[in-house]
Structure 1
């Protein structure tokens, strides 16, 4: 009975830690001088409709845009009423994923008369979840070319309050935009 409780506890802890992390990545044009960028504008007034009501949510759009604006303001990157240095876009998508975990739950040992008998018992847990992917793109205002892309991938969660949802959006955006501008290696 004790191994079952420990295994169950392990699965719960792993599931909880999997829900709270945001995996980030970036890609950029190594020839673009991103450090000179100081002013920006949104390229589109809202994200294009996806057909998924979880994504096509005006309240969520406002939260993401507000989080991006807050982060950029904290880094002295300001919105421009005229021609900016760069344009911003974002894209949010949600995709259904399946995760399986196999763990060893019991160990059997043979008896005196049959020492070759024995084995290891395993259990496999299969979980279905929704994975969110927030992509933030920075386009050169001069050429319109994509010069930087940051992506954050995380498990979709439901929040009890709008404030909790806004805090989560801010943390996700901060983690993605922390990579901008990329640090050049000497």
Structure 2
């Protein structure tokens, strides 16, 4: 039983520590970009109908992105002066965990060592949960082309305090943007 708990804990931690997914245009010289602005009408909640994706969450995500990009040496400027434009999207999907447990036991044995009552029991546990995906796009303003995209998905947790939601968003954005701009060795 103890080994099962350890294995489940390791699997849970591995699922929580999923690496974000990145893609970028390898022909782009990211060192040329010094300023950023948000795409006009960028909206996290435009096509998402989920109570957790709302204007409060949008504000958290924008502040986290702005903070991370400024920490990386970029300057936020009006859209007309920006080298790159930032856009973001979110999606929420329902997923299911299905666990099946089977047990086999013999209740009694006959005189000839044969099972008197051969019983099988199968139990299924089904849990539905929501997974949110945050996508951050970087667009070259001059060419109007997508040059970098990062995304991360994670289980949405309900009943969190606002402070916890802010912490989770900050960590998620930092994790997504950890590969922006791509390092020289990654460009090869």
Question: What are the within-5 Å matches in structure 2 for residues 98-117 of structure 1?
Answer: 98-102=96-100, 106=103, 113-114=113-114
SS at match of 2:152: strand
Question: What are the within-5 Å matches in structure 2 for residues 28-177 of structure 1?
Answer: 28-47=24-43, 49-54=46-51, 56-81=53-78, 82-102=80-100, 106=103, 113-114=113-114, 123-177=123-177
Q: Residues 6 and 42 (structure 1 numbering): CA distance in 2 closer, same or farther, change over 3 Å?
A: same
Q: Residues 121 and 185 (structure 1 numbering): CA distance in 2 closer, same or farther, change over 3 Å?
A: farther
Structure with the larger RCO, 1 or 2 (CA within 8 Å, 6+ apart): 1
Q: Deviations over 1:136-176 (max 9, x none)?
A: 00000111111111001100012532111111100000000
SS at match of 2:20: strand
8 Å Cα contact 1:46/1:61 also seen in 2: no
Q: CA deviation at 1:74?
A: 1.1
Aligned length: 180
Q: Unmatched 5+ residue regions in structure 1?
A: none
Q: Unmatched 5+ residue regions in structure 2?
A: none
More divergent stretch after superposition (164-173 vs 43-52): 43-52
Normalised by the size of structure 2, how large is the TM-score?
Answer: 0.77
SS at match of 1:178: helix
State the distance in 1 between where 2:34 and 2:90 align: 25
State the distance in 1 between where 2:73 and 2:50 align: 34
Normalised by the size of structure 1, how large is the TM-score?
Answer: 0.78
